[in-house]
């Protein structure tokens, strides 16, 4: 997952800082980019500015400061990582992959690995994504490790390995019991495995944090029917009809009522 982006309010401040640095270079008052500390300060400011633009969805503006950071240090892992995320957002997979690989050549951190795995997942390279996620999960101190296990579970589902998926979702929930997607997928997997008590528990935990969509309305109606909660099942079915009448979920619901 993509963590650690700066708040939009800091974008202007960083841009001002960089303008001051650039102005100093042009006027010759001082030469901050001639010192190691000055170059490092400028590089970090460029990277943070690029992150800020990316967070705001301004990918076209993010590239210039990131390129400036790479002109200062062509091997900086974070600059390459953020550039990769920019190109991923712009649907330029070849360029995104190129920068992810350069980032990993400099630092195989769990964060970069997780972001690269998410890119590979998006591109449909599920087996490779799983390899990358597994490497990221080896870092037991990574603060967002729960996200890595959740991503592994979603990848296992794409690989039609439901047993492994359930294992990874449970690992994610051990680390963070509020992982919504893990709760939902465990509710679904538990229902399919006829573990209806487990399905109900996961479903209720999920619904404490989220609203209904077509999938959760159908799953809720199914679980309610198992426990003979007819009024709730009918209510969820009615909401499914009203909100998602053309959905595959509503069609499945109608088939199950026959």
Are the CB atoms for 220 and 203 separated by under 8 Å? yes
List, in sequence order, the alpha helices (H) in the chain.
9-27, 36-55, 59-72, 77-89, 93-106, 110-122, 126-137, 145-158, 162-175, 180-192, 196-207, 214-226, 230-243, 248-256
Residue at 95 is within a domain: yes
The DSSP code for 247 is S
Count: domains in the chain: 1
pLDDT value for 15: 57
220 vs 5 pLDDT, higher one: 220
Predicted pLDDT of residue 24:
44
CATH, residue 46: 1.25.40.10
Give the percent of the chain with pLDDT over 70. 87
Q: Note whether residue 248 is domain-resident.
A: no
What is the pLDDT at residue 38? 82
Residue in the block written with tokens 């998410």: 118
Q: What pLDDT shows up at residue 35?
A: 78
Confirm whether 147 is domain-assigned. Answer: no
Whether residue 215 contacts residue 224, with contact meaning beta carbons closer than 8 Å, is answered with: no
Q: Which domain holds residue 94?
A: 1-107
229: tokens are 């909660």
For residue 191, is it within any domain?
no
pTM equals 0.86
Would residue 251 count as lying in a domain? no
d(CA 39, CA 42): 5
For 199-217, what is the mean pLDDT?
96
In a domain, residue 8? The reply is yes
Q: For residue 185, which of 154, 208, 145 has the smallest C-alpha distance?
A: 154
Residue 145 buriedness (CB in 10 A; 0-12 / 13-18 / 19+): buried
Query: Is position 12 within any domain?
Result: yes
Mean pLDDT of 110-128: 98
Q: Please indicate, yes or no, if residue 215 is contained in any of the structural domains.
A: no
Structure tokens at 24: 């100093």
User: Over 50: is that where the pLDDT of 25 sits?
Assistant: no
């Amino acid at each position: 997952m993509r963590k650690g982006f700066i708040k939009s309010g800091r974008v202007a401040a960083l841009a001002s800082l960089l303008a001051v640095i650039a102005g100093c270079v042009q006027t010759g008052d001082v030469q901050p980019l001639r010192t190691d500390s000055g170059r490092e300060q400028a590089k970090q400011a460029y990277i943070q500015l690029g992150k800020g633009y990316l967070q705001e969805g301004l990918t076209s503006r993010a590239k210039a400061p990131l390129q400036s950071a790479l002109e200062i240090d062509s091997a900086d892992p974070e600059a390459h990582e953020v550039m990769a995320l920019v190109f991923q957002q712009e649907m330029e997979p070849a360029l995104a992959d190129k920068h992810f690989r350069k980032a990993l050549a400099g630092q195989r951190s769990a964060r970069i690995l997780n972001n690269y795995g998410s890119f590979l997942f998006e591109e449909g390279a599920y087996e490779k994504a799983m390899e990358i996620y597994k490497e990221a999960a080896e870092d037991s101190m990574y603060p967002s490790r729960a996200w890595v296990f959740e991503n592994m579970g979603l990848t296992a589902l794409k690989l039609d390995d439901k047993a492994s998926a359930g294992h990874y979702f449970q690992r994610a929930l051990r680390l963070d019991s509020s992982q919504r997607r893990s709760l939902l997928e465990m509710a679904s997997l538990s229902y399919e495995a006829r573990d209806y008590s487990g399905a109900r528990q996961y479903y209720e935990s999920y619904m404490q944090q989220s609203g209904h969509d077509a999938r959760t309305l159908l799953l809720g109606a199914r679980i309610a029917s198992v426990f003979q909660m007819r009024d709730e099942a009918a209510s969820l079915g009615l909401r499914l009809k009203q909100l998602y009448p053309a959905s595959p979920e509503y069609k499945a619901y109608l088939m199950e009522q026959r």
